[in-house]
Structure 1
Amino acid sequence: MTTGKRLAKYALAYKKIIFAALIMLTISVGTDLAGPFIAKNIIDQHILGIESVWYETSSGKKAVNYDGKFYKREKYVSSREQKGRQIQILQVGSKFVFIDEKLEFDGKRTLNAGTLEIKNGVRRVEYQAKVLRLSEILAFYQPEILPIVQLLAIYFGLLVVSAVFQYGERFLLQKSANRIIQKMREDVYGQIQRLPINYFDNLPAGKVVARITNDTEAIRELYVTVLATFFTSSIYITGIYVALFILNVKLAAICLLLLPIIYVWMLIYRKYASKYNRVIRSKNSEINAMINESIQGMSIIQAFSREKEAKTDFEKLNHEHFNYQNKLLSLNSLTSHNLVGVLRNLIFVAFIWYFGDQALNASTILSLGMLYAFVDYINRLFQPVQGIVNQLANLELALVAGERVFKLMDEPGENVSSERIARFKGYVIFDHVSFGYKDGEYVLKNIDFEAKHGETVALVGHTGSGKSSIMNLLFRFYDCQKGKITIDGRDIETIPRQSIRNHMGIVLQDPYLFTGTIASNVSLNDSAITKEKVEKALKDVGADKVFKHLENGYDEPVLEKGSTLSSGQRQIISFARALAFDPAILILDEATSSIDTETETVIQEAMEVLKKGRTTFIIAHRLSTIRNADQIIVLDRGMIVEKGTHDQLMEKKGKYYQMYELQQGNTDLAG
């Protein structure tokens, strides 16, 4: 399915609101476009109507008294009234004259000493004319005042109706747009929850954030501004063409040439704009990723005086973004004002040529009201045309952003399962497991061991030996390529990931804390974790000793990542979090490697509390902390080289023995 169709599918979810908005838009456009017709009627029928045929009649409604006689316009004379002598009132320059006979033809008018001369080509005729005074002119206009006022009142009423429906249309379109983007952002965020961990290994956090915020905001502009403009402009253009065809078919047909010109231009524009926008959106994501990385690593940048180099890298990326923005700007500059200006001038040239030709035709009488209506409609025609052309840039931007968002949403993921299974006993078996983050490059090779219920299993080895990879497999952040892992005899790949993790707890070397309070970081806002359970978990891990000085106690605010707390305090919260969720299997990933000795004593006590009744896996560099483990597994380059208790491994005097002695300060084994 194309990006356009998928964006339309989102819009169809709110089709009732959009349909109501389009109805309101149609009413708004219809009432607005009635204006020139009303103006034409006022000009031709009432303001210039004084030059129409008049008849001498008896006194009565709409009759005008002039020189002792009464006259009525032909349109006001009823069929029952007797028509008398025909007269005519004509404007010559700034004067109005009275002629008491029928006009043979009209043409160029000249008044000289009470004689009106009319020429049309070779034809020439003279009439005796009386110049009307201002009061007499106003008397002849008197019957038109009320109709003019009525038409102006209708015109004003239509403007009010148009404004009300235009407000309603814009409100509904923006409301639907906001709901569409709300739904889309929820879908994108939900998709992120479904994606496997390895997806984020190769995609910086800043790029993911850009998809959810910047790209969806660009799509929001599509619904709020672009489509609203396209809908409005399309209906306006349709209405204007209908009005033009009603007024004059030939000139309206000439104006139709605009549509293929605009369509061809749109095709050319989109070809280049799409290319530029893709690069711009990509560079924008890279800028976000770089800024995010710089903020996260600002302490390292400043500590190693890398500010200048970081700034240079950013400026290079920003300059590339700037260059493509300029290319798009140049393309846009060729469209809106320039293109529309040229088209407007071409249409007005055709308009002047057509009406000039009509004026030279003796059989044609030009209407000033029609001339006004045509000029008004043509001017109005270019407003929606310019609106469409101006929004082409935003349209392409939104389509490219939509393509990027849907690419993320098309990534294969796994639905978050709500299935709940009975609590594990905690009997874990790694059955000849091999695993690699890349195909064919195994970081774990033929791992084979078992951890019985309630046992503590320690994983030791040099950096890169595969300790954390074993935990990643147990948590099903990744799945192994060979062998299998079972819990209580059940292959974990047959159990939904979330169901497995419901009975697992983890304490990391650098625990992650969320913005909130100490208590909310323990409960993670899970309704099943009561305040009493939170306080008990914190007390059981010795938090009362560590946080006794805090003014707000466990309601003390925590900033992002717990930046205002010490490593030991963050670790205590992490232990309390694991204990509150009461896991069957507990993983302690180097949980004591980065804290002070005093806090380590508290945490060691907390670890003993945590391990009771649970199968516990400990990843540790400090071998002194795992002496009491039921089983110690020694890893080297992804393989198990030794297994046993501390005493058994020390007796073997193998790899573990060397590591332990080195940590105890016996440098004689260094070789």
Structure 2
Amino acid sequence: MLETQDLNEQPTTRLDNKTITRRLYQYALRAKKTFVVALIMLVIGVGAELAGPFIAKNIIDNHMFAINQPFYQTTADDPHAAEYNGAYYKRQGFWGDGETKGLEVHVVQSGTSFYFVEGPMDNTTGDKTFDDGTLTIRTAQGEQAVYPAVALSSTELFSFYQPELPGIYQLVGLYFIFLLITIVTEFGKTYWMQSSANKVIQELRIDLYAHIQRLPVPFFDNLPAGKVVSRVTNDTEAVKDLFVAVLSNFSSGAVYMLGVYIALFILDFRLGMVCLFLVPLLILWIILYRNIATKYNRIIRSRLSEINAIINESIQGMSIIRIFRKQKQTEDEFEKLNNDYQFFQNKMLRLNSLTSFNLVNVLRNLTFALVLWYFGSASLGSFDSAISLGVLYAFVDVLGRLFQPMTGMVNQLAALDLSMVSAGRVFELLDEEGEHVTDGAMPRYKGNVRFQDVTFAYKKDPVLKHIDFEAKQGQTVALVGHTGSGKSSIINLLFRFYDPQQGTITIDGQNIRELPKQWIRQHMGIVLQDPYLFTGTIASNVSLDNEQISRERLEQALRDVGAEQILSDLPKGFDEPVVEKGSTLSAGQRQLISFARALAYDPAILILDEATANIDTETEALIQSALEVLKRGRTTFIVAHRLSTIRSADQILVLHRGEIVERGSHEELMEIDGRYRQMYRVQTGIGSNAILDGTEQPQDREAPVPTGLRTT
């Protein structure tokens, strides 16, 4: 079973954030058109949304409080004229150059009341009081001015506001137009951004899966299947979140913040300078957060991979777990991994709770307090202060919008770091050296195989030593020996899953190192003791969806191995559905399908790895004649423990501790009182006391032949 790795264990190679970012950028370029469209939508949307505060400022300063400007008497037909006591007045902002102005009047506010003052006024700011038709204004310098005034009723006051309504209506209409633009661009930005992200992740997963197909067999000896699955599914999904959520929030936030700061400086330069301190603070915040979070996220992703691995292993070996009553032990191992995962998840939860929305709120409140304290008090007290009330309103509105993207960016920091860690794991797998895939094919070779002084080791100790033999076209060569003697290692070398450290292997006189691996395997076939079937149908498992194998050819292959008789009871015959590994079929049925697969591919070299070991006697007798047809004209290697199945072999190689200790035909080896004769007597019951000494064990375990026939 899987064991939990040490919490402080670090991988031998790790990509830095700069490299990961550069490679993610290269993938993003594959969908650059849609990303550009999304960015354009984003810029337009930000501009349209930020137009709102400027429209509000215009309404406040140029219309709602514009009546504080002087009014001049005009004619009744003037569209901007306000009527009061039979006379018509137009405020200063509506007068054009060269127009003749009439009598000057003012509308002055004192508290919640408004007063009409006829004639020019030197100053309209200060402390105002009204008593018995007299308006008194006292300035901060102690000066005092007295003007005759008349209180305005609500109807009379509205008449002065009425000329402002058309302008207000236009601005409100413009606001709704910008609002509609914002809605459309937000939809477009979200759609194009996510479609771009989906495209990028599709490309990344295709590249990753294709690379896994090219990885050498030794790579999978050291990495559990569940961890590989986690890289392809969980880690790429986290990278998708990077493009969909993180990139969207950060790009939107950056553009939005830039737009906000431009708007702040347009409104008032001093106010914009006051708020600049937020930018370096945000950058420092992100750097500190990532330095802490990356350490946790690496362990979290590692634990998730280990959890997937143990789940995959448990499902694959469920029958063994139950037979040997290992459920409790398996649960304990899973619980240990799950507890580690939860422990570091809680660490991340505490970190995110401390450095997320709450901290943004604190910054926002401090900034608002600073702005209102420094600028707001004077603005609220008078209309002619350091900044206008409209500017202050617009500034507060825009400043509030500044914290929306900040909140979005901060809340995505956890996803950003997790995505970067996952991207690093994906790229590390992509950086593993794979086998070169060569297009094209080679003509079907004859199948003359020669091993010349071949020595091979999986790690340090050799499992094959000075192997030397020749198998000619049409011959059957049997490999026998006790477990660990090197039989499967010879097959691994023949398939070029591994290459020997010493010696050469040739096919038809050509060194196989000089040939692309895919070309060699194209004309090889294998039948395993426990054949692997893929999800699909019986027919698809014979052809493996190879377009060159016709329906007639695969059906004929099934008939030639006697499968028609064995599979006739299935409801859909050769189109019977097959689940993963063919678990709904008997061992004999699976083996027959594997034989038919080998026959349909018509290999020049055929390997039978204990092909009849799991077949009952009746089924074995049925396919013996089919085997003779299958071997005809092909170089056949038989890995066998049941020596009765190889009596007709042209050459039998007896291996012991990685060396060929005996060779010859069955009759020749039986004449020698050697290892083969002893094994044969033990199996047949003749001289059963002649059992080999148990001390004769291999020094190194050999790797099994990879299951399945599909090769790249």
Please give the TM-score of this superposition, normalised by the length of structure 2. 0.92
Is 1:92 the counterpart of 2:110? The answer is yes
Contact 1:590 1:618 in 2 (8 A): yes
Matching residue of 2:187 = 167
| Other-structure match for 1:294 | 314
Secondary structure in structure 2 of the residue aligned to 1:635: strand
Residue number in structure 2 paired with 1:608: 628
* Matching residue within 168, 175, 180 for 1:155: 175
Q: Could you tell me which of 129, 139, 145 is aligned with 1:120?
A: 139
Residue 212 (structure 1) aligns with: 232
CA distance in 2, matches of 1:112, 1:227: 64
Tell me what 1:522 maps to. 542
* RMSD of equivalent CA atoms: 1.6
Q: Which of 122, 126, 129 in structure 2 is aligned with 1:110?
A: 129
Kept after mapping to 2: 8 A contact 1:57/1:70 = yes
**Could you say which residue in structure 1 is the equivalent of 2:292?**
272
DSSP 3-state at the match of 1:653: coil
The C-alpha deviation readout for 1:196-252, integer Å capped at 9, x for no partner, is 000000000011111111111111111111111111111111111111101111111
Quote the residue 1:36 is aligned against. Answer: 53
**Structure 1 counterpart of 2:92:** 74
In structure 2, give the amino acid aligned to 1:226.
V
The one-letter code of the counterpart of 2:138 is: K
C-alpha distance in 1, partners of 2:584/2:188? 49
**Structure 1 gaps, min length 5:** none
- Sort the Cα spacing of 1:114 and 1:305 in 2 relative to 1 into closer, same or farther, 3 A: farther
In structure 1, the residue corresponding to 2:173 is in which secondary structure? helix
Which residues in structure 2 correspond to 1:405-444 (within 5 Å)? Answer: 405-438=426-459, 440-444=460-464
Q: Mapping of 1:551-562 within 5 angstroms?
A: 551-562=571-582
* Residue of structure 2 in register with 1:15 after alignment: 32
Within a 5 Å distance, the mapping from 1:86-485 to structure 2 comes to 86-103=104-121, 104-121=123-140, 122-356=142-376, 358-359=378-379, 364=385, 366-438=387-459, 440-485=460-505
Q: Which amino acid aligns with 2:88?
A: F
SS of the residue 1:257 aligns to: helix
Counterpart residue type for residue 170 of structure 1: T
Pair 1:669-2:687 in alignment = no
SS of corresponding position for 1:83: coil
Q: Secondary structure at the match of 2:689?
A: helix
CA distance in 2, matches of 1:284, 1:76: 70
Give the partner amino acid of 2:51: A
Kindly indicate whether the alpha-carbon contact (under 8 Å) linking 2:69 and 2:93 is maintained by their aligned counterparts in 1. no
Give the deviation of 1:54 after TM superposition.
0.7
Contact 2:679/2:691 (CA < 8 Å) preserved in 1?
no
Correspondence 1:5 to 2:22: yes
For 1:322 and 1:191, the matched residues in 2 are separated by: 32
Partner Cα separation in structure 2 for residue 668 and residue 297 of structure 1: 36
- Deviation for aligned residue 1:168: 1.4
Q: Which whole-Å CA distance do the structure 2 matches of 1:284 and 1:119 have between them?
A: 74
**Closer, same or farther in 2 for the Cα pair 1:362/1:36, shift >3 Å?**
closer
Q: Does 459-468 or 48-57 show the bigger shift?
A: 48-57
Q: Deviations over 1:279-316 (max 9, x none)?
A: 11111111110110011111111111111111111010
Letter in 1 for 2:217: I
Unaligned runs of 5+ in 2: 1-17, 693-712
Deviation sequence 1:109-166 (CA, Å, 0-9, x none):
3344444333332233333332222222222111111111111111100111121122
3-state SS of paired residue (1:84): coil
Aligned-pair distance for 1:665? Answer: 1.7
Alignment-derived partner of residue 531 in structure 1: 551
Q: Is the 8 A contact 1:460 1:632 kept in 2?
A: yes
Counterpart of 1:47?
64
Relative to structure 1, the CA distance from residue 566 to residue 110 in structure 2 (aligned partners, 3 Å threshold; closer, same or farther) is farther
Whichever residue aligns with residue 515 of structure 1, its letter is T
SS class of match (1:431) = strand
User: In structure 2, how many angstroms separate the alpha carbons of the residues matched to 1:571 and 1:268?
Assistant: 60
> In the alignment, which residue of structure 1 is the partner of 2:701?
none
Q: Is the 8 A contact 2:383 2:389 kept in 1?
A: no
Q: Which SS does the other structure have where 2:102 is aligned?
A: coil
Contact between 1:193 and 1:416, CA under 8 Å: does it hold in 2? no
2:570 and 2:444 map into 1 onto residues whose CA distance is 36
Distance between the aligned counterparts of 2:120 and 2:66, measured in 1? Answer: 16
**Aligned AA for 2:124?**
F
Per the TM alignment, residue 642 of structure 1 is displaced from its structure 2 partner at its CA by 0.6
> Which deviates more from structure 2 when the two are superposed, residues 294-303 or residues 45-54?
45-54
Q: Say whether the 8 Å CA contact 1:634–1:640 is kept in structure 2.
A: yes
Q: 1:356 to 1:153 in 2, by over 3 A?
A: closer
Aligned partner letter, 2:586: S
Moved more, 75-84 or 459-468: 75-84
Residue identity matched to 1:238: L
Aligned residues with identical type, % of pairs = 56
| Corresponding residue pairs, total | 670
Q: 1:229 to 1:362 in 2, by over 3 A?
A: closer
Is the 8 Å Cα contact of residues 251 and 354 (structure 1) preserved in structure 2? no
Q: What is the match of residue 76 of structure 2?
A: 59
* Alignment pair present for 1:502 and 2:522: yes
* CA pair 363-76 structure 1, distance change in 2 beyond 3 A: closer
Deviation, 1:24, is: 1.7
In 2, the alpha carbon distance for the partners of 1:70 and 1:345 equals 47
Distance in 2 of aligned mates of 1:124 and 1:663: 126
Q: Distance in 2 between matches of 1:463 and 1:110?
A: 110
Relative to structure 1, is the Cα distance of residues 100 and 361 closer, same or farther in structure 2, using a 3 angstrom cutoff?
Answer: closer
State the alpha-carbon separation in 2 of the partners of residues 263 and 315 from structure 1.
39
CA distance in 1, matches of 2:343, 2:681: 60
Verify the 8 A CA contact 1:36 1:373 in the aligned structure 2.
yes
Paired position in structure 2 for 1:621: 641
The one-letter amino acid paired with 1:558 is V
Distance of 1:313 and 1:346 partners within structure 2: 50
Q: Is the 8 A contact 1:522 1:577 kept in 2?
A: yes
Mapped partners of 2:614, 2:621: distance in 1: 13
> What do the CA deviations read for 1:536-577 (whole angstroms, capped 9, x no partner)?
010001011110011111111000110110111110000000
Q: For the Cα contact (< 8 Å) 1:290–1:314, is it kept in 2? A: yes
**Are 1:53 and 1:74, in contact at CA under 8 Å, matched by a contact in 2?**
yes
**2-structure distance, mates of 1:379, 1:669:** 92
- Describe the shift of the 1:108–1:302 C-alpha distance in structure 2 as closer, same or farther (beyond 3 A): farther
